[in-house]
Structure 1
């Protein structure tokens, strides 16, 4: 754990300054959607980011190269998956997009979301981590091995 002034970082709503985050022009299907974001946090190892994101009216592809969990705060969208199934999302809804997935977003007016982005662990490293956790559990060395943080009952 990091000790010092950067161990816990606080911010106020007034500190949120949304900045332009243009959608790849080749992904835009219809309209001229304007997207913005604000980085809420980044892990020290760079593998995870939390951000606010909003977007105006438009239709566009989105290709996910990371795992992204979305929680809608305001507005909504219709999301079409690769099977052609359309899903309506609005405030309080959440969606997990796995790395490698694709979706078509149709924003009829506006959407604002919190997004939690994480680079997935490569399969060989994941296997090593699972073996290590199993060995810790079997031997009892190193205390309790749980992927769930202690504050959530892990």
Structure 2
């Protein structure tokens, strides 16, 4: 990984070295999964992480302690929620797993995904942040002259 400055970080495919990321053995229902990951980035406040993850054939539980949005790059899996509903997720699909949720994953051959993980912020703090953003907008301090608008703004 190469940093242009402290705010921009760049890497190439040759920089991505997948590292072992074993699934909790108590979660494995069937098979001997080989799971690996590569952390792409971690936010400065430590509440968000982006990573590439892959896994071989297996069936296993997954318990989510963070919000995780996945985008499948390659392969597929069958995901079963606690109500018994199953969905196939495959290359090009995305899915959100909220913190506190649980799913059973059935990887029939292989899956590779990008995962965006975020630690949920308590509702009162989120409310305060929205109020502060709104106040900044009202007094005209939401951005400096020449700044591009944020693609995440709710204005």
User: Does TM, normalized by the shorter one, top 0.5?
Assistant: yes
Q: Alpha-carbon deviation of 1:129?
A: 1.4
Residue 33 of structure 1 aligns with which residue? 33
Q: Alpha-carbon deviation of 1:44?
A: 1.0
Q: Alpha-carbon deviation of 1:48?
A: 0.7
Q: Alpha-carbon deviation of 1:151?
A: 4.8
Unmatched tracts of structure 2, length 5 or more: none
- CA distance in 2 between counterparts of 1:150 and 1:38 reads 31
Residue 19 of structure 1 aligns with which residue? 19
Q: Alpha-carbon deviation of 1:153?
A: 7.0
Residue 86 of structure 2 aligns with which residue? 86
1:150 aligns with 2:128: no
- CA distance in 2 between counterparts of 1:9 and 1:37 reads 19
> Paired residues, what number?
146
Provide TM-score, normalisation by structure 2: 0.87
- CA distance in 2 between counterparts of 1:7 and 1:90 reads 33
Matches within 5 A, 1:4-153: 5-137=5-137, 139-143=138-142, 150-152=149-151
Unmatched tracts of structure 1, length 5 or more: none
Q: Which consecutive aligned stretches of 4+ in structure 1 deviate over 6 angstroms post-superposition?
A: none
How much is the aligned-residue C-alpha RMSD, in angstroms? 1.7
CA change 1:153–1:7 in 2 (3 A) is: closer
